[in-house]
Amino acid sequence: MTRVKVDLANNSYDVMVEAGALENAANHLAPHLSNSRAFIISDSNVGPAYVPKLVSQLNAEGIKTKTLELPAGEGTKNWQTLEKLTDWLLENGIERADTVAALGGGVIGDLTGFAASIIKRGCNFVQIPTSLLAQVDSSVGGKTAINSAAGKNLVGSFKQPKFVLIDPLVLGTLPDRELRAGYAEVVKYGLIDRPEFFVWCEQNGGKLLGGDPEALSYAIVQSVSAKAAIVAEDEKELTGKRALLNLGHTFGHALEAETGYSSTLVHGEAVAAGMALAFHYSVRRGHCDNAAAERVEAHLKQSSLPHSLSSASVHATGQRLVDHMLLDKKMSGGTLPFLLANGIGQTFLAQDVDLHDVAAFLDHSE
Ligand SMILES: NC(=O)c1ccc[n+]([C@@H]2O[C@H](COP(=O)([O-])OP(=O)(O)OC[C@H]3O[C@@H](n4cnc5c(N)ncnc54)[C@H](O)[C@@H]3O)[C@@H](O)[C@H]2O)c1
Ligand SMILES: O=C(O)C(=O)C[C@@H](O)[C@H](O)[C@H](O)COP(=O)(O)O
Ligand SMILES: [Zn+2]
């Protein structure tokens, strides 16, 4: 069992990683429930597989439960489902000291966290992430959001969970494509500031994607630790430090918008292609040598992840993709800071990027 502390000025919390933790979830969760009622939100894939076991355990410990199962997929992170979820919480008599538990991937975590942050101006919240992406990234750090007509994650809040319970064994039922998508965010930590972890990924990514439990647990703990360290320095993305976690996302979110937030390209896949583009764009600007960008692309390709526009099934013009980027939350004073790299593990925030040049770069990218 490993515990990683997310050390914040207020509301610090632990992330617990333990194979089989779900078998003992009631004991792990009980100390973090401020009273004995939990509202468990899951989706149509995760619910049938894991809710009955969790509920019977919690009930056996005297914790009362209500459960809601939402449709699986990115389309659920919207206003309509937020309304459905908050109405359901209110109809079921939620009180501020009750706990809302997100049991699922990043979609359920982001949506449920947002609901927990606004219901009665905020109630207790815990995360039980079940996808690799949610275990290595979205369950930690407190970003919550829904997508709006204008774009990705544009309506949301910071709502730190009280506790995050990670059981890597649940990844056994995760579809292979989703495991790979989550792996993109694992690789991201190596590319940001942990070059030795990127080398580990190059050497062990194949084992991890084959479901090797040791490789998965190691990657989860390393990823959570990397994210916790960055979030502890800049919880609300005010100094530029936390923005590093956005590596590949300015390109990636534009690709997701272009493919309609659909199963054509899921978030982790878009981030994979976005990171390859960020490295190649860094080469174009003279920050990074071509060999580093080729190495990043090769590892993503080897991991059967999108690593270019065409492998992400995107054939839009550069200007069209830049138009999507104009909605990025990092936009400030009409300019868009970009996460670029001087090399592997040397990501930085560039403030002087010319969006016409980005469009031209994308027009010349394959
Ligand atoms: N808040 C953050 O910091 C943060 C970080 C990264 C990503 N995100 C967001 O997270 C979302 C992507 O998360 P995701 O990749 O987990 O997508 P997701 O929640 O859609 O889950 C992927 C798929 O896997 C299924 N699934 C999850 N766990 C399973 C399991 N154990 N067994 C079987 N099926 C399972 C889900 O039902 C879904 O079909 C995006 O909306 C992204 O914007 C947020
Ligand atoms: O936690 C963060 O900070 C991240 O940027 C993590 C990203 O992987 C995640 O996709 C996040 O939701 C993107 O943030 P956004 O502010 O661009 O919506
Ligand atoms: Zn992401």
Instruction: Dig out the tokens for 22 from the structure.
Output: 């779900």
Q: Does pTM top 0.95 for this prediction?
A: yes
* pLDDT value, residue 282: 98
CA-closest residue to ligand 1 atom 9: 106
pLDDT per residue over 49-90, tens digit each? Answer: 999 999 999 999 999 999 999 999 999 999 999 999 999 999
Ligand 1: which of 107, 111, 154, 236 to mutate, most ligand atoms within 8 Å of CB? 107
| Nearest partner of 337 among 279, 253, 329, judged by Cα | 329
CA of 106 to the centre of ligand 1 (A): 4
ipTM beyond 0.90?
yes
Architecture of domain 176-363 in CATH? Up-down Bundle (1.20)
**Mean of the pLDDT values across residues 137-143?**
98
**Pocket of ligand 1 from Cβ distances under 6 Å:** 43, 45-46, 49, 72-74, 77, 104-108, 110, 130-131, 133-134, 137-138, 141, 143, 153, 170, 173-174, 178, 181-182, 266-268
CA-closest residue to ligand 2 atom 13: 246
Q: At what angle do helices 318-325 and 249-258 cross, to 10 degrees?
A: 110
Q: Is 329 annotated for ligand binding?
A: no
Ligand 1: which of 155, 178, 263 to mutate, most ligand atoms within 8 Å of CB? 178
pLDDT per residue over 217-257, tens digit each? Answer: 999 999 999 999 999 999 999 999 999 999 999 999 999 99
**Mean of the pLDDT values across residues 304-328?**
97
Are the CB atoms for 64 and 2 separated by under 8 Å? no
- CATH among 3.40.50.1970, 1.10.1040.10, 1.10.260.40, 3.30.1360.200 for 2-173: 3.40.50.1970
Q: Mapping DSSP to helix (H, G, I), strand (E, B) and coil, where does residue 11 land?
A: coil
| Nearest partner of 298 among 186, 189, 195, 205, judged by Cα | 205
Ligand 1 atom at minimum distance from 144 CA: 1
Are the CB atoms for 69 and 42 separated by under 8 Å? yes
**Mean of the pLDDT values across residues 182-210?**
98
pLDDT per residue over 13-44, tens digit each? Answer: 999 999 999 999 999 999 999 889 999 999 99
> Any catalytic annotation for residue 307?
no
Ligand 2: which of 108, 143, 153 to mutate, most ligand atoms within 8 Å of CB? 143
Instruction: Dig out the tokens for 12 from the structure.
Output: 């610090």
Q: Which of the following is catalytic: 194, 246, 269, 329?
A: 246
With 90 as the cut, is the pLDDT of residue 334 above it?
Answer: no
> What are the residue ranges spanned by the domains of the chain?
2-173, 176-363
**Could you tell me the strand order of the sheet in which 64-70 lies?**
2-6, 13-17, 163-166, 124-129, 99-104, 37-43, 64-70
CA of 98 to the centre of ligand 1 (A): 24
